[in-house]
Amino acid sequence: MKNIEITPDPYKPYNLAQGYVVGEVLYISGQAAYGETGELVGINDFDVQAEQTFKNLKKVLEAGGSSLKNVVKVTIFLRDMANFNKIVALRKKYFTAPYPADTIVEVSALYSPEALIEIEAIAVLTK
């Protein structure tokens, strides 16, 4: 098992890993809209937060030796299911066919009251 590390790591203060590589499978922690400074970006702006979240997912996958095209399963947590169609468009932008298996759920809260989206993923190593 190998810990996936990125720099800077906005999750370090929370005592959790960005993800792990176990064999040829990556398990990625829920990614959110953290900017380079570790601060949440796009307060009250779903579009900005969603774009940043997908970029952060890409960064962690690449740090672990994979990529967005190797994602086999995502779970997307939304604060408002009214953004569902935006997620469908973002999936088309960031993933390629065959698209990953997906679960999308609306939640009443995430780790921060200002967070509007979080995405966790399972991927395989790039070959």
**What is the SS3 string spanning 19-55?**
EEEECCEEEEEEECCECCCCCECCCCCHHHHHHHHHH
Q: What is the mean pLDDT of residues 94-105?
A: 96
Q: How far apart are CA 98 and CA 68, in angstroms?
A: 12
Predicted confidence at residue 37, as pLDDT, reads 85
Tokens 């890409």 locate to 58
pTM exceeding the 0.75 threshold for the entire prediction: yes
Q: Which two tokens stand for residue 98?
A: 């065959």
Task: Tell me the average pLDDT of the chain.
Answer: 96
β-bridge mates for residue 124, sequence order: 25
Nearest residue to 48 via CA among 121, 120, 119, 117: 117
Domains annotated for the chain, with CATH where assigned, are 2-124 (3.30.1330.40)
Tens digits of residue pLDDT in 20-64: 999 999 999 999 999 988 899 999 999 999 999 999 999 999 999
